[in-house]
Amino acid sequence: MQWNSNRFTLTLSSSIGKKLIMAITGLGFCIFLISHLAGNLVIYAGNDAFNSYAERLHTLGPLLILAEIGLLLLGITHISIGAYLSYQNFCARPARYKKKKNAGGRTIGSSTMPYTGFLILIFIVFHLIDFHFVEKADRSIYQIVLETFSNPGYTIFYILSMAVVATHIDHGFWSLLQTMGINNLEYMPTLRMVSFGLSLFVGIGFGSLPVFITLIT
Nearest CA-CA partner of 107 in 197, 171, 163, 153: 171
The Cα-based distances of 9 to 4, 5, 22, 177 in angstroms read 9, 6, 16, 23
pTM (two decimals): 0.84
1.10.1240.10, 1.10.1060.10, 2.40.50.100, 1.20.1300.10: CATH of 15-95+110-216: 1.20.1300.10
**Domain spans of the chain, in order of start:** 15-95+110-216
Q: How many CB atoms lie within 10 A of CB 51?
A: 16
Tens digit of pLDDT at every position of the chain (217 positions): 445 555 556 556 677 888 899 999 999 999 999 999 999 999 999 999 999 999 999 899 899 899 999 999 999 999 999 888 888 877 876 654 444 444 445 678 778 898 999 999 999 999 999 988 888 778 899 999 999 999 999 999 999 999 999 999 999 999 888 888 887 778 888 889 999 999 999 999 999 999 999 998 8
Q: Which candidate, 173, 166, 178, 127, places its Cα nearest to that of 26?
A: 173
